[in-house]
Every structure is written in structure tokens, then in C-alpha cells.
Amino acid sequence: MSNDQPLVLQTVECPSALSQYIGDDARDAEDAGENPAARADDTTQAPSRMRRDQLLMDHFTSLMSHEITLAGANGQAPFLLVEGSEKPKFRYPGQARMPFNLVFRSLNGVTLGGSHYDVLHPQLGTIPYVMLTRTLVYPDQEPGIYYEAIFN
């Protein structure tokens, strides 16, 4: 592949035990059989040992129009977080969180060659094994390649 062709990120391998936690070391700790939440003595962890099901749209609101890195098996690339919304607009009985979606725009023509990637940002750490699908470009959006992640 020549240097003038855009990068095609390949999907990350499914971890043997998918971490229920997000953070900088969630993927490594879970693969090693550790519980990242058990590291209560380590105060350097940011933002905290949050579980995946505790992740809310509110965690991404301040990140709109900012770069977020998507990491694949063969590298990583910056994407722009362009949109996010809660869906549906009401909560079902017993529902732990309001479902939401995020839309990312590829920068530099990078495409995704699979479906699952790690999402990285300094404020959130690593959110491992997130499914992203290509989505439509609407006439009011900047031209580019768009991908959507849904958190149910």
C-alpha cells in the first residue's frame, strides 16, 4: 500500500473476557484476569473505575467537535465527534441508563474495515470493543465518512 492511500483500520480482536469497565487499562487488566475496580489504592486513575453501563451521553457532551481516537488492530486514527443524542426520549421501567448514539466523522479519509474498535480520549480513557457502523451523510453535514456507535 502506498503512502498516499488512506488508512483502513482493522477491527480489534474480541477480548477473551470483555471488560465491564472503561479506563486507560481496562482492556489489559481484563485480559490478564484482573478487576480494574479493585485498584482502589491507585488514585492516578482517571476518570474513575466506571462500568460500561454507567457511561452516559453527558460524558460526551463536552467532547462534541473534538477529536477522539479510534484504535484498531493495525493502528489508530483521529475521528471528529460530530453528533450525539439520547434515544429514545423516555426511560423504560428498570432501564439502567438512557440509550444514546454518537456519530464520528473520519479525518484524513481513514475508513474502518471491520466493526469493533477501542475508543480513546484523555478524559474518558479507553472504552474497549465498541461497535461502529457506517452511516449516511446528510446534505447539511460536511462531506466525509461517518460512523455511528450506539450505547444501549
pLDDT of residue 25: 53
Q: How many CB atoms lie within 10 A of CB 67?
A: 13
Q: Which residues pair with 118 in a beta bridge?
A: 71
Report domain extents, the chain.
Answer: 8-14+56-151
Burial class (CB in 10 A: 0-12, 13-18, 19+), 58: exposed
pLDDT of residue 19: 74
> What is the residue-level pLDDT of the chain in tens, covering all 152 positions?
456 788 999 999 988 877 778 875 544 444 444 444 343 333 333 455 788 888 999 999 999 999 999 999 999 999 999 999 998 776 778 887 889 999 999 998 999 998 999 999 999 889 999 999 999 998 999 999 999 999 98
pLDDT of residue 107: 92
pLDDT of residue 39: 37
Burial class (CB in 10 A: 0-12, 13-18, 19+), 127: buried
Cβ contact 152:56 at 8 Å = no
Cβ contact 39:45 at 8 Å = yes
